[in-house]
Chain A
Amino acid sequence: MKKFLVLCAALLAFALASLPASAALTVDVTQGNAQPLPIAIPDFVPGGGGDPAAGANIAGVVRADLERSGLFRPLDPKGFVEHVTNINTVPNFQSWRSITAQGLVTGQVTQQPDGRLRVDFRLWDVYGESQMLGLQFFTTPENWRRIAHMVSDAIYERITGEKGYFDTRIVFISETGPAIKRVKRLAIMDEDGANPIFLTRGDYMVLTPRFNPTAQMIAYMSYIGAKPRVYLFDIETGRQEMLGNFPNMTFSPRFSPDGNSVALTLETAGNSDIYVMDLRSRSIRRLTTDPAIDTAPSFSPDGRQIAFESDRGGSQQIYVMNADGSGQHRVSFGAGGNGTPVWSPRGDLLAFTRQQGAHFTIGVMRPDGSGERMLTNAYHDEGPTWAPNGRVLMFTRVSPGGRDSQVWSVDVTGRNERRVLTPGSASDPAWSPLIQ
């Protein structure tokens, strides 16, 4: 009897377990259509005082920023049905939906009595009919571009969930003159190509500039005195100094994430090895001792590991070691030679340059060497640098024959490859962190 009841109970439980949890229809959407988000950004309305064109200028920069990212499609203001005159009223969402906008940005620019510019903006979800974001910035009027970039960053972060990168700068090598007498100068500009400034006069060749974590200092290699050495350049003061007085050449510098030390390559007796210099004590510590060429160090964002390139295995490949030099192991096993590893600020990927015959291309892989993906497929792309959000890369693209070099950018997905506008030929870009 008992056994029978237990059996019945078990059967009942089995039958109930077979029932679905819910009575509703279930649907799995597994395919989508990755496309930029249509967003309407009318000119910011004037709130009184100041330059009447400021609102249009700021909105123009925001539109250009978002369009450049490849994730947004700013709609042509000529097609707008609603004319925004007051940002403190709820928009007529139906009219924005009618022009296919999914996001809407309304803003206002006001000159304060103290002369400062006040920029208010709101980001609206057109389909959800709700405000997603509302912020206010104050700045001096000449700083309006930075405010526009900050607005772009805020919108980008709210929509994508990751930090923006528009309020950043690019340091690069500007190249002018004929190929046999090339003048290479250190230059800096905003991420969108605005405000380019030369930092050095071109008396000496400069290479491989790198920002420190506060974007105030640049480490680079220069041939001052016909010997390549690593120098530090203070952007604020324009002062430059040689990093250590070594008898032989130093090159390929890279700041640690805390900015307190620089990893670099020091050549002694024909052997290149990686060292770390403490910028406060100027003490130096050797990390690699292999007789092969070890160079191009790059810290992981937590500062615990360093990726570098070495030809100790017979060909140029990427290796990873602990920050104290222990645990050196090879991570790249793909075709051809792989070098110039750069650790993503997100920590999830290493960008690198692959050389196969005469071709150089940019790729990414996980720090353990898995998940390798090539992002570009041109004749000669090299020297990747990450946007501070780890989402976009810039690199140098050299034309066949090497006559011209340009800076290009590509999304980490391999999409949205486009040229970065620089004054003249340019190479060796380094992307700054978000400006504080």
Chain B
Amino acid sequence: MSSNPSPTRRKAAQPAVRRASFTRQRPTTARSQPFGIFGSILFHGLILAAAFLTFQRNLSTPEDSHVVPVDLVTVADQTNVAAQAPPTPPAPEPEKMDMPTPPAPEPIQPQMQDVEPAPEPPVPKFDIQKEKKPDTDKPVEKPQTKKEAQQDFAALLNKLTTPDKAQKNVKPGPRVIQGVGAGTMMTADLADALKSQMYRCWSPPTGAPDARDLVVDYDLNLNPDGTVARLQMTPSTAAQAAGNGYTRAAAEAASRAIYQCQPYRLPADRYNVWREINPLRFDPRQMMQ
């Protein structure tokens, strides 16, 4: 140890040298003041953004691995925070969805061929009057009361202290708090609500070889009334289903579950968050352990 003290000494000396050089360079830095200010702002901004996004992800509620049957109540019915602003007018009722009775087609001559699928008959489609999507980018013009202004400020503070996924993902609409419970803008509760409504309808394929690996993903779009607006396999699932009968069967079982359990009861005021679910994953691994 004592025979080789020089490295330690060198290390100790280095900061001093650096400090010295920094001191010497200060005038130089000062000369390029404009770039330094902008650079510094950009640099710090990026650090803040990176930290915010990173920690935000870490803080977000982890996905629950179990289904908690949730009886969803609307926020307006039970709340733990007093309303601070007049409640928003109720969301317009969606147009009543009429299931068109299939028109009695002209009797088709039997065209089935031996061991060939019959021609696709005309399939009636859900005639869903698509509700006009709430335009989140253009909030409804509304005279802002003093109370609302206070509330917005409070909300801003909340936002800084409790970052959440929903705000990151969705542009919020006109911000009117109508007496919210804890964690209203989190998505975990929505995911649980959906899971608890879907699980009773989902009969995963059991007994297939490697049945536990038959994980399928869907891209689901919902109408404001909780009915299915559009359902599509994700490209990867579609590709697997095309080449594997078991995956196709698993995907069809999931599709039946999605249709069977609709309409989904979800908070109408957060339609922006649950309008699209992608991926909606059906994963039987836990069930088959």
> Is B199 touching A31 in the complex (CB atoms < 8 A)?
yes
- Alpha-carbon separation in the docked complex, A125 to B168 (Å): 39
Residues B38-71 near A (CB distance < 8 A): 39, 42-43, 46-47, 49-50, 53-54, 56-57, 63, 65-67
Contact partners of A92 in chain B: CB under 8 A: 101-102
> Is A88 touching B117 in the complex (CB atoms < 8 A)?
no
- Kindly name the residue among B191, B208, B246, B277 whose own CB sees the greatest number of chain A CB atoms within 10 A: B208
Contact partners of B50 in chain A: CB under 8 A: 11, 14-15, 18
- Kindly name the residue among A134, A159, A161 whose own CB sees the greatest number of chain B CB atoms within 10 A: A161
Residues B172-220 near A (CB distance < 8 A): 187, 190-191, 194-195, 198-210, 219
- CB of A140 closer than 8 Å to a CB of B: no
Smallest beta-carbon distance A124→chain B, Å: 9
- CB of A195 closer than 8 Å to a CB of B: no
- CB of B230 closer than 8 Å to a CB of A: no
> Is A94 touching B191 in the complex (CB atoms < 8 A)?
no
Smallest beta-carbon distance B102→chain A, Å: 4
- CB of B169 closer than 8 Å to a CB of A: yes
Q: Do A90 and B121 form a contact, CB below 8 Å, given A25-B190, A31-B66, A31-B67?
A: yes
**Residue on B with the closest CB to A89?**
B105
Q: Do A127 and B255 form a contact, CB below 8 Å, given A25-B274, A29-B202?
A: yes
Smallest beta-carbon distance A23→chain B, Å: 5
Smallest beta-carbon distance A336→chain B, Å: 25
- Kindly name the residue among A8, A19, A88, A122 whose own CB sees the greatest number of chain B CB atoms within 10 A: A88
Q: Do A89 and B108 form a contact, CB below 8 Å, given A4-B43, A19-B53?
A: yes
Contact partners of A161 in chain B: CB under 8 A: 205, 208, 244-250
- CB of B159 closer than 8 Å to a CB of A: no
> Is A159 touching B249 in the complex (CB atoms < 8 A)?
yes
> Is B203 touching A37 in the complex (CB atoms < 8 A)?
yes
Q: Which of B46, B54, B204, B259 contacts A12 (CB 8 A)?
A: B46
Q: Which of A18, A90, A412 contacts B53 (CB 8 A)?
A: A18
> Is A33 touching B102 in the complex (CB atoms < 8 A)?
no
> Is A25 touching B202 in the complex (CB atoms < 8 A)?
no
- CB of A146 closer than 8 Å to a CB of B: no
Contact partners of A91 in chain B: CB under 8 A: 102
Residues B114-129 near A (CB distance < 8 A): 114-125
- Alpha-carbon separation in the docked complex, A29 to B254 (Å): 10
Residues A1-47 near B (CB distance < 8 A): 4, 7-8, 11-12, 14-15, 18-20, 22-37
Per-residue CB contact flags for chain A residues 84-110 toward chain B (1 = under 8 Å, else 0) read: 001011111110000000100000100
- Kindly name the residue among B67, B109, B252 whose own CB sees the greatest number of chain A CB atoms within 10 A: B252
Q: Which of A22, A127, A391 contacts B256 (CB 8 A)?
A: A127
- Alpha-carbon separation in the docked complex, A30 to B212 (Å): 11
- CB of B89 closer than 8 Å to a CB of A: no
- Alpha-carbon separation in the docked complex, A170 to B117 (Å): 31
- CB of A133 closer than 8 Å to a CB of B: yes
> Is B281 touching A130 in the complex (CB atoms < 8 A)?
no
Smallest beta-carbon distance B31→chain A, Å: 13
- CB of A135 closer than 8 Å to a CB of B: yes
> Is A160 touching B249 in the complex (CB atoms < 8 A)?
yes
- CB of B269 closer than 8 Å to a CB of A: no
> Is A31 touching B287 in the complex (CB atoms < 8 A)?
yes
> Is B245 touching A120 in the complex (CB atoms < 8 A)?
no
Per-residue CB contact flags for chain A residues 105-136 toward chain B (1 = under 8 Å, else 0) read: 00010000000000010100101111101111
> Is B120 touching A34 in the complex (CB atoms < 8 A)?
no
Contact partners of B12 in chain A: CB under 8 A: none
- CB of A286 closer than 8 Å to a CB of B: no
- CB of A51 closer than 8 Å to a CB of B: no
Residues A388-418 near B (CB distance < 8 A): 390-391, 411-413, 415
> Is A4 touching B39 in the complex (CB atoms < 8 A)?
yes
- CB of A68 closer than 8 Å to a CB of B: no
Residues B96-114 near A (CB distance < 8 A): 99, 101-102, 104-105, 107-110, 112-114
- CB of A162 closer than 8 Å to a CB of B: yes
> Is A90 touching B280 in the complex (CB atoms < 8 A)?
no
> Is B283 touching A33 in the complex (CB atoms < 8 A)?
no
> Is B199 touching A29 in the complex (CB atoms < 8 A)?
yes
Smallest beta-carbon distance A66→chain B, Å: 15
Contact partners of A330 in chain B: CB under 8 A: none
- CB of A348 closer than 8 Å to a CB of B: yes
Q: Do A125 and B252 form a contact, CB below 8 Å, given A33-B202, A86-B107, A90-B102?
A: yes
Smallest beta-carbon distance A118→chain B, Å: 9
> Is A30 touching B122 in the complex (CB atoms < 8 A)?
no
Per-residue CB contact flags for chain A residues 34-78 toward chain B (1 = under 8 Å, else 0) read: 111100000000000000000000000000000000000000000
- CB of B273 closer than 8 Å to a CB of A: yes
Contact partners of A390 in chain B: CB under 8 A: 209
- Alpha-carbon separation in the docked complex, A36 to B253 (Å): 11
Residue positions of B touching A, CB distance < 8 A: 39, 42-43, 46-47, 49-50, 53-54, 56-57, 63, 65-67, 99, 101-102, 104-105, 107-110, 112-125, 165, 168-170, 187, 190-191, 194-195, 198-210, 219, 244-250, 252, 254-257, 259-260, 273-274, 276-287
Known contacts A14-B54, A28-B191, A162-B249; 8 additional CB pairs below 8 A are A25-B169, A25-B187, A30-B195, A33-B201, A36-B203, A161-B208, A161-B246, A412-B207
Q: Can you pick out 20 interface pairs between chain A and chain B where the beta carbons lie within 8 Å of each other?
A: A14-B50, A15-B53, A19-B53, A24-B278, A27-B277, A27-B281, A28-B191, A32-B202, A32-B204, A34-B204, A86-B107, A91-B102, A92-B102, A134-B118, A135-B116, A135-B117, A136-B113, A161-B244, A161-B250, A162-B249
| 5 interchain residue pairs of minimum CB distance | A134-B118, A161-B249, A127-B259, A161-B245, A32-B202
